[in-house]
Homo-oligomer: A and B are copies of this chain.
Amino acid sequence: MSVRHLAVIGLGLIGGSLARALRAAGEVGRISGYDPDPVQRQQALKLGVIDEVHEQAPEAVADADLVVLAVPVLRTAEAYAACLPGLRPETVVSDVGSTKQSVLRDIAAVCGGQLPPRFVAAHPIAGTEKSGVANSQTELFRNHRVIITPHEHQDAAARQLVARLWQAIGARVVEMSPAQHDAIFAATSHLPHVLAYSFVDMLARLERSGEIFPNAGGGFRDFTRIASSSPQMWHDVLRANEAAVADLLDRQIEELQQIRRMMAESRWDELKALFERARAARERYLSQIE
């Protein structure tokens, strides 16, 4: 057992799945939890995801060896600040947020401008379009990546503890800088969510949307799956990683305008060449992850 007492702040899909996985791996003793939503709190307790629930964050983290903040990214620093009265100096605190520069900046701000040595910023690359502790799964992180973005003056033992726990539940830990993280995930995750939401919304606003959706096939279902994700979470991610997403969105709009011009000017061979480039790039991607 690596952690005598784990506190999970934010009892949703990710916080719940992490608690389940660490318990199943025998890595934690007692698990306490807090969520601002009484429904999630009671469900987490009832499902046995946590051992005890608290109505205040400082009570949940009192005596904890490790605190995981599993809240929407924009609320991470606020959650950290709320826990502060209950934290011991030796408590390790980590997060699971989808952006990293903003989390580190915000936490430094609530800690007098300097990052606490025992704060470890982490991002598990896993999830489903479903939210809430009721959808949490023990195996959610197995064979998935977890990005840890170290910071200056970080306590090496704290970082190693967090890395070891993720590895113990089957995840693969990769380290990179916060800026590199945010640029990469703007491309692979944040922009695709914008495109999927935007596409479904555009269709829903069409006059004939009523006849469109019943005729959609399997390709449509996969392409739009991420548009069923939590609007609150993705609103937060976009705000937190605004610059990187805006840059890519500009490029995406520019590329779509180019395609539109190819169509208008009947430059069909160029369009086909673009499709071929894209297919080849995706085949390279598949060969890298398999």
**Which residues of the other chain, B, contact A127 by a CB distance below 8 angstroms?**
217, 219
Contact A192 B219 (CB under 8 A): yes
A220 to B, closest residue via Cβ: B188
Contact A224 B282 (CB under 8 A): yes
**Prevailing SS type, chain A contact patch:** helix
Q: Does A113 contact B (CB under 8 A)?
A: no
What is the total number of copies of this protein in its complex?
2
Distance of A147 from chain B, by nearest CB (Å): 8
Distance of A240 from chain B, by nearest CB (Å): 11
Q: Does A200 contact B (CB under 8 A)?
A: yes
Contact A197 B274 (CB under 8 A): yes
| Docked pose: A288 CA to B199 CA in angstroms | 18
Contact B251 A202 (CB under 8 A): yes
**Interface residues as binary, A273-285 with B (CB distance below 8 Å gives 1, 0 otherwise):** 0111111011111
Q: Does A45 contact B (CB under 8 A)?
A: no
Instruction: Return the contact of A272 from the options B145, B184, B221, B235 (Cβ within 8 A).
Output: B235
Which of A21-29, A88-96, A256-264 forms contacts with chain B? A256-264
Q: Does A55 contact B (CB under 8 A)?
A: no
Q: Does A39 contact B (CB under 8 A)?
A: no
Contact B252 A215 (CB under 8 A): no
Contact A231 B275 (CB under 8 A): yes
Which of A78-86, A160-168, A206-214 forms contacts with chain B? A206-214
Which of A12-20, A56-64, A148-156, A241-249 forms contacts with chain B? A241-249
Interface-central residue, A147, A229, A259, by most chain B CB under 10 Å: A259
| Docked pose: A232 CA to B222 CA in angstroms | 22
Q: Does A196 contact B (CB under 8 A)?
A: yes
Q: Does A134 contact B (CB under 8 A)?
A: no
Contact B200 A187 (CB under 8 A): no
Contact B204 A188 (CB under 8 A): no
Q: Does A108 contact B (CB under 8 A)?
A: no
| Docked pose: A193 CA to B222 CA in angstroms | 12
Distance of A61 from chain B, by nearest CB (Å): 29
| Docked pose: A188 CA to B220 CA in angstroms | 6
**Interface residues as binary, A169-191 with B (CB distance below 8 Å gives 1, 0 otherwise):** 00000100000100111011101
Q: Does A195 contact B (CB under 8 A)?
A: yes
Contact B215 A185 (CB under 8 A): yes
Known: A192-B223, A195-B195, A238-B268. 20 other contacts (CB 8 A): A125-B215, A125-B217, A187-B203, A188-B213, A189-B219, A195-B256, A198-B256, A200-B281, A201-B277, A202-B252, A204-B281, A223-B223, A224-B285, A227-B278, A231-B275, A231-B279, A246-B263, A249-B263, A253-B257, A256-B256
